[in-house]
Amino acid sequence: MELKGDIANGFEAVGDAFLKNFSELNDLGASACLYIDQKKVVDIWGGCTDEKEAEPDTSKEWQHDTLVNIWSTTKGFVSLAMHMLMDRGQLDIDQPVAHYWPEFGANGKEEIPVRFLLNHRSGMAGWQNEFSKQTPPEILYDWDEATRLLAEQEPFWEPGTASGYHLLSYGHLVGEVLKRIDGRPIDKFIKEEVTTPLGLDFHMPVAESDLSRISDVRLMPNFKTMSSESRAKLSKLAQFAFTNPLARVGDANSEAWRKAVIPAANGHATAEAVAKLYGVLSTGGAQLISEESIERMREPAESGVDLILGAGMSEAELIWGLGYRINHDNSYGPNERAFYHGGFGGSLGFCDPEHNFGFGYVMNRMDMSSRSGQRAAALLDAVYSCL
């Protein structure tokens, strides 16, 4: 695999780690980017956008402007929009959600503060409260119906008592609050207030003219579905949240998914776009938000085993900030106060304000095992070794 792009002197180890991801960790196509003090010091890519085992020489090469679905790394962009409203005095996250979205104040949700949406403690980890019901995946494409159902249902657990990752519901919950305050849908707000001013190659939805730049996402070689034994270890709530509605990997390769607005999961971006955004945040966010907002982003909620991400899995505690995860366990480098958001399969947006850097990694081969963050972690280890 040929490494393409630019690496500043002293950061060669990042390129070495990138190549190692291909030779040892099965990357197919990927890009990685690093901004320090808002200056781009690493911008690399390589591999291919498809996988033709019979005719490998005909595979399409990954380009600098190749887009790929970044799944939950999208949430970092969405959370930023909420912090911008806070900075402008338009949003008080300790007000009930129902203060801004009156219909939401039903069935035990009257007092849930907006804060609990951002740190995944609202109890609204998915659609429908009855485990016997299956929500069709089509709900993700119908904003009005999806938000109506969320407004009507009960929480899955007592709000505020625990975190439970709002896998797909997060974007609709947060996005509807923003829409009620600002008047614009979340995708339009992000485009007009964030990506266009900063020149970020991030898209949700993807315009017709950009569809040809998208790489399909693929599963790792020899992928095996979760065994019935492993599935049985998950709580009923965790099983339900991951499958209700069920978003399959292949769904992200459809035109319908790419043209939809699913703000928890269907942003499409380059690594450069992700890194530049977090690079701006790492140096105080002056172009977008105040320095106080950066501290607020990593304001920790109570720690504990997440009811969705932890139950039946590692049982490790995690700490949510306001819309971001805090690196308290050093999953990504030594700074316990760094914050980030990763995506299903392995993508990552990462911010270290103490070292003034933002990092982005996107790829098309998805690792759905507990090792999904291993490739991004290896790249960040290389970054820290160069500082």
Domains and CATH numbers, the chain: 4-79+188-386 (3.40.710.10)
User: Which of the 8 DSSP states describes residue 250?
Assistant: G
Q: What does residue 25 show for φ and ψ, rounded to 5 degrees?
A: -120, 15
pLDDT for the residue 371: 80
d(CA 193, CA 260): 20
pLDDT for the residue 237: 84
Cβ(141)–Cβ(260) below 8 Å = yes
pLDDT per residue as tens, the chain (387 positions): 899 999 999 999 999 999 999 999 999 999 999 999 999 999 999 999 987 654 555 579 999 999 999 999 999 999 999 999 999 999 999 999 999 999 999 999 999 999 999 999 999 999 975 555 678 889 999 999 999 999 999 999 999 999 999 999 999 999 999 999 999 999 999 999 999 999 999 999 999 999 999 999 999 887 766 656 666 667 778 888 888 888 889 999 999 999 999 999 999 999 999 999 999 999 998 889 999 999 999 999 988 889 998 854 556 688 999 999 999 999 999 999 999 999 999 999 999 999 999 999 999 999 987 788 999 999 999 999 999
Neighbours of 100 (CB within 10 A): 19
Burial code of 174-207, b = ≥16 C-beta within 10 A, e = fewer? bbbbbbbbbeebbbebbbebbbeeeebbbbbbbe
Cβ(198)–Cβ(280) below 8 Å = yes
pLDDT for the residue 314: 56
pLDDT for the residue 233: 65
pLDDT for the residue 50: 85
Prior bond of 205 cis (ω within 30°): yes
> Where do the H-state alpha helices sit in 140-235?
143-152, 169-182, 186-190, 196-198, 228-233
Determine if the pTM surpasses 0.75.
yes
> Where do the H-state alpha helices sit in the chain?
12-25, 74-87, 97-100, 114-118, 143-152, 169-182, 186-190, 196-198, 228-233, 236-243, 255-258, 271-282, 291-297, 374-386
